[in-house]
C-alpha cells in the first residue's frame, strides 16, 4: 500500500534511501511484485528472448555467460572416486584398485560423445558446458536419462538427452491461457497444477515435466505432441 509523504516516517530505515518516494533517482521507480509464480510465469518468455538476443549481440552479456561457464565448469567436472572402504570391508589396496577402475570405466563413457549423448553431439564434459549456458540464458535445462542397446564398441547403455527450457511447457489442452506469457494449467487426469510445463502436487512437490516435441513458433515443424515425464520414476 502506498503511503503519502505526510504519513510516511521521514529519515527512518530505508525511507530516504532505496525506499524513498521523494528522491529524484527513485521517484518513478515503481516495482510491484506478486507471488514467485506470477513474477516468473508472466514474464518468462520475454526475459528468455531478451537474454538470448543480448548473448548473441552484446559482447558484455556474452562475456558474462562465458565467464561463468569457464569458472564453473571449465573443461568439465571430472569423477574422483572416494568410497567408504571401512563400511564395504575393503583394504586400502582393494579400495584404491576399485576407485581407479571405476574412474577409468567412467571416463570411457564420458569422453565418447556417442556413448553418453543421446544426440551424439557432445561428450559428457561438453554436455556440462551446454547445460550451464542454457540454464543461464533460458532457465532450467533438463537432462532426460535414456537407455540404448549396447554394442561391442559402445558397451554402456546410459545416454543423457538435454532438453532446453522452451520445450518444457504446459499442454494447451490442460487449460493454459491464450497467451504464451500465461502458461498455468491443470492436469485433468491427476488434478495437479502445471506451471510452465512443470507439474506439482498439492504440496508443491514436482511430480512430472511436460515436454513438447518442437520449439514454440518453429517454422515448418510438424504438429506439436506432448510427453509427460515423471520427475521420479516408478
User: Residue range 18-43: average pLDDT?
Assistant: 80
Q: What is the pLDDT of residues 212-222, one digit of tens each?
A: 998 888 888 88
Q: For residues 179 and 151, is the Cβ–Cβ distance under 8 A?
A: no
Q: For residues 207 and 187, is the Cβ–Cβ distance under 8 A?
A: no
- Per-residue confidence (pLDDT) for residue 192, from 0 to 100: 94
Query: How far is 124 from 159, CA to CA, in rounded Å?
Result: 10
- Per-residue confidence (pLDDT) for residue 32, from 0 to 100: 82
Most confident of 14-18, 21-25, 141-145: 141-145
Q: What is the pLDDT of residues 55-105, one digit of tens each?
A: 999 999 999 999 999 999 999 999 999 999 999 999 999 999 999 999 999
- Per-residue confidence (pLDDT) for residue 109, from 0 to 100: 95
Please report the sign of the dihedral spanned by the C-alpha atoms of residue 173, residue 176, residue 179, residue 183.
negative
Query: How far is 232 from 229, CA to CA, in rounded Å?
Result: 9
Per-domain residue ranges of the chain: 35-67, 79-164, 168-230
Query: How far is 212 from 227, CA to CA, in rounded Å?
Result: 7
Q: Residue 4: name the closest of 16, 18, 22 by CA.
A: 22
Amino acid at each position: 500500500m502506498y503511503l503519502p509523504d505526510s504519513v510516511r516516517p521521514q529519515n527512518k530505515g530505508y525511507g530516504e534511501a532505496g525506499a524513498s518516494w521523494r528522491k529524484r533517482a527513485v521517484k518513478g521507480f515503481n516495482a510491484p511484485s506478486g507471488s514467485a509464480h506470477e513474477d516468473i510465469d508472466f514474464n518468462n518468455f520475454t526475459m528468455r528472448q531478451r537474454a538470448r538476443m543480448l548473448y548473441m549481440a552484446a559482447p558484455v552479456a556474452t562475456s558474462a555467460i562465458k565467464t561463468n561457464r569457464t569458472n564453473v565448469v571449465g573443461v568439465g567436472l571430472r569423477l574422483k572416486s572416494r568410497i567408504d572402504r571401512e563400511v564395504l570391508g575393503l583394504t586400502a589396496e582393494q579400495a584404491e584398485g576399485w576407485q581407479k577402475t571405476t574412474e577409468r570405466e567412467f571416463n570411457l563413457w564420458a569422453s565418447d560423445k556417442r556413448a553418453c549423448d543421446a544426440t551424439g553431439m557432445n561428450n559428457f564434459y561438453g554436455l556440462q558446458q551446454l547445460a550451464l549456458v542454457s540454464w543461464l540464458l533460458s532457465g532450467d535445462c533438463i537432462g532426460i536419462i535414456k537407455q540404448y542397446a549396447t554394442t561391442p564398441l559402445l558397451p554402456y547403455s546410459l545416454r543423457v538427452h538435454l532438453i532446453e527450457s522452451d520445450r518444457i511447457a504446459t499442454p494447451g489442452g490442460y487449460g493454459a491461457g491464450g497467451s504464451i506469457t500465461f502458461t498455468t494449467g491443470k492436469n485433468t487426469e491427476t488434478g495437479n497444477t502445471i506451471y510452465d510445463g512443470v507439474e506439482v502436487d498439492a504440496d508443491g512437490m514436482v511430480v512430472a515435466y511436460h515436454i513438447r516435441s518442437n520449439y514454440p513458433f518453429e517454422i515448418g515443424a510438424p504438429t506439436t505432441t506432448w510427453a509427460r515425464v515423471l520427475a521420479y520414476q516408478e
